[in-house]
Amino acid sequence: MRVLVAIPVFNEQRYISRVLTQVLRLTDEVLVVDDGSTDETPTILRENPRVRVIRHEENLGYGRSLMDAFEYAGRERYDWVITMDCDDQHEPARIPAFIERAERNDVDIVSGTRYLTTIPGNTGAPEERRRINKTITRMINDALGLSLTDSFCGFKAHRISALEQLSLTETGYAFPLQFWVQAVRRGLRVCELPVRLIYNDPSRHFGGQLDDPASRLRHYTDVFTSELRRADGSACGISDAGCGVAPDCGDGR
């Protein structure tokens, strides 16, 4: 089973060397999508020849970076792609757990969750982010028949052949809202895997109007509603069966 670890980055000079050092101890199959960084991130990446890099000359968005990673993984004939953030909030040490769960070959998406169980060392999420996550997760579950506990965690393992069934176009931070609708519409099998809740820098921002929590929640809701309307199938665009989600991937946590 060929597995690629894909890391979208934007101005991550503070963390990228440490994160890459840890990831490269586990695998040489690493892709970084640099989304138009204007700090020292490009220089640091050039100093890491073991890492493959896709460079956006300007900032195109988090969703665009993920789509580029998925396209690369498919083109290079990987079986799975694990996505993780580069702000030191996702522990590379959990990568083997994602691979082990994928190797069972009974799901298409292994989605990290920071809220399914309490793991020693968790740090508190900013209240407004946790509130928005909880609101959106409940909305997704109610509309799609899922039982997710964390709809926004970017630490995921994706089966490439399953991703090829999706038509993803959302380039920004609302990418997960489109992703979950299409995953259910295509009948992808999902489970969650516990990961630590780490927030090193609660002041990190989204940019523009998304820095306002009310505007961000409204944007996420608009994207989700639009994708539901666009979907084929039943009145809400989703088959009655849904895709199901196992509440625990059974890794002993």
Give the tens place of pLDDT for each residue, 95-108: 999 999 999 999 99
Average pLDDT (180-196) is 96
Q: Give SS3 for 81.
A: strand
**Residue 1 · residue 105 · CB < 8 Å:** no
Q: pLDDT, tens digit, for every residue of 67-76?
A: 999 999 999 9
Whole-angstrom distance, CA of residue 181 vs CA of residue 185: 6
Q: What is the pLDDT of residue 203?
A: 57
Domains of the chain: 3-246 (3.90.550.10)
**Residue 155 · residue 83 · CB < 8 Å:** yes
Average pLDDT (32-55) is 97
Average pLDDT (7-18) is 95
Order of strands across the sheet that contains 190-194: 52-56, 30-35, 3-9, 80-83, 156-159, 109-113, 190-194, 245-246
Q: pLDDT, tens digit, for every residue of 88-136?
A: 678 999 999 999 999 999 999 999 998 876 555 545 555 676 888 899 9
**Residue 1 · residue 78 · CB < 8 Å:** no
Q: Is the pLDDT of residue 38 over 70?
A: yes
Q: What is the pLDDT of residue 202?
A: 55
Nearest to 154 by CA among 110, 105, 102, 210: 110
Range of 142-146, 209-213, 227-231 with top mean pLDDT:
142-146
pTM across the whole model: 0.86
Retrieve residue 213's tokens: 């929590």
**Residue 8 · residue 83 · CB < 8 Å:** yes
Spacing of C-alpha 177 from chain mean position? 11
Q: Is the pLDDT of residue 251 over 70?
A: no
Average pLDDT (180-207) is 81
β 190-194/245-246 pair status: parallel
Retrieve residue 77's tokens: 């004939």
Q: Is the pLDDT of residue 198 over 60?
A: yes
Q: pLDDT, tens digit, for every residue of 200-222?
A: 555 555 566 666 778 889 999 99
Q: pLDDT, tens digit, for every residue of 234-245?
A: 434 343 334 444
Tell me, what DSSP letter sits at residue 2? -
In order of 4, 54, 81, 247, the CA distances from 71 in angstroms are 12, 11, 10, 29
Length of the chain: 253
